[in-house]
Structure 1
């Protein structure tokens, strides 16, 4: 058997990691230590792990996170009304399988964005497609897509996203166009996918911020009633180490 030909065939079949490992093993004469079954398993596992790693990297890059956030790095030492056990359960991502939402509220600087992105990063590591965006920017983008005719295409992309993170919700008032777009987003995702919302505004004030009673009722009914809610308290963590927002 010509090892060079085997390596080339593996590469042509887009089994690059397997090809590289086989090439190194042949070069160093390491493959003789394995049975045929063990060696095939070794190559297959190496290729699978390489592809999983690349997939995670693609998902994290495509999520467009504002900062690097990890569930493992969350600081529970501050008094901010963050229950470790509750958040730990959320970090298992069972809420995604159940098509549930998460709402994070609290004053500026208490870590809402960090917590949302930590969950988003965890979702990427588990193979879920995630998108992070500030609410104002995603609404502005979709307004422009109505002009260039790509609105439905952009909505379908969001609908296929397992986890959508809407940060800084309610910082800007909703005009009629923004309300309709938000309604389209939430309606498409209802009982299909999960949405994480972070906001400085308490949920009790969202009705007035969204405006137009009928649409506000419809949005809140779909978003809030199927959500896990975390209401953070305390002073801004930015006064100390800039870590959690």
Structure 2
């Protein structure tokens, strides 16, 4: 069999993964028992998998998720108000397909950012474009883009992103300019994209953060009534991990 000419042709066609698989299979004696259809199927599968992985890598790079979290590693046993059924439903990403929103609220350290990143990672795996920003960084990026004349391009990028994660929303009140920017972001996503917002501040106080009653009503009306909610409670998981580690070291010393 003329392996090298075939490999070169595959690479010329942009089928590098298929070319690599062709070389590997040609060196395996077990492959001699495969039919031509099975050979071709395995080569195509390898190429499809490689392309899917590259696309996922690009989506994750664009998302810039703060934590390396995946839904499969979510702690559903620690009592903190996380409903197993609701979370598993959210992990299926149907709410993103339907352009709904998700609000995760609770005190510091209960895992809000971790859950947001895990759901963001799952959305990337499902083929959705995701963008993660802490709220202060989002507004700083918008202000910088405005000063540099890049604001329309940045806002188009945000608009095209299917899931926008705004982490650490509040408690500082928004400026007049930030209120208008948020209104534009929320309005652009109406029926076309989803928001995932995490906050230490209960949703009942979000009007205070926005600071303007009229804009507050307009913004929250577009968010609250199309949203799912996760309301976490309990002690800080980070504090609990530190205490567990300390207890483990103490027990080890006593032994």
* TM-aligned CA deviation for residue 76 of structure 1: 1.8
1:206-227 deviation digits (Å, cap 9, x = unpaired): 1111011221111101111100
Q: Could you list the per-position Cα deviations for residues 123-167 of structure 1 after superposition, in whole angstroms to 9, with x for gaps in the alignment?
A: 111111111110110111011111111111111111111111100
Q: Is the 8 A contact 2:10 2:19 kept in 1?
A: yes
Q: Greater CA deviation, 34-43 or 114-123?
A: 34-43
* Equivalent-residue separation in structure 2 for 1:28 and 1:108 (angstroms): 55
Of 52-61 and 184-193, the range deviating more from structure 2? 52-61
**Which whole-Å CA distance do the structure 1 matches of 2:238 and 2:211 have between them?**
32
Q: Does 1:53 align with 2:48?
A: no
Between Structure 1 and Structure 2, how many residues are aligned?
A: 242
Determine if contact 1:136/1:172 at 8 Å carries over to the other structure: no
Query: In 2, distance between residues paired with 1:123 and 1:104?
Result: 16
Asked whether the equivalents of residues 101 and 226 of structure 1 are also in contact (C-alpha less than 8 Å), the reply is yes
The residue correspondences of 1:206-217 to structure 2 (distance < 5 A) are: 206-217=206-217
Contact 1:96–1:163, Cα closer than 8 Å, also in 2: yes
Conserved 8 A contact 2:173-2:208: no
Moved over 6 A (4+): none
Question: Does the aligned pair in 1 maintain the 2:103–2:197 contact within 8 Å?
Answer: yes
| Structure possessing the higher radius of gyration over alpha carbons | 2
Deviations 1:153-208, CA, capped at 9 Å, x for gaps: 11111111111110000132200111111111111111111110000001111111
| C-alpha separation in 2, matches of 1:42 and 1:77 | 40
8 Å contact 1:133–1:166 — kept in the other structure? yes
The alpha carbon displacement at 1:238 in A equals 1.2
- Contact 1:106/1:232, CA 8 A, preserved across alignment: yes
Structure 2 gaps, min length 5: 243-255
Normalised by the length of structure 2, the TM-score is 0.91
1:122 aligns with 2:122: yes
Task: List runs of 5+ in structure 1 lacking aligned partners.
Answer: none
Asked if 1:32 corresponds to 2:23, the answer is no
Give the deviation of 1:26 after TM superposition. Answer: 2.5
- Larger proportion of helix: 2
> Shift of residue 241 of structure 1?
2.0
Tell me the secondary structure at the aligned position of residue 53 of structure 2. Answer: helix
Structure 2: distance between partners of 1:69 and 1:171:
25
Q: 1:72 to 1:28 in 2, by over 3 A?
A: closer
Match of 1:139 in 2: 139
Number of the residue aligned with 1:9: 9
**SS of structure 2 residue aligned to 1:195:** strand
How far the C-alpha of 1:58 sits from its partner, in A, is 2.1
1:99 corresponds to: 99
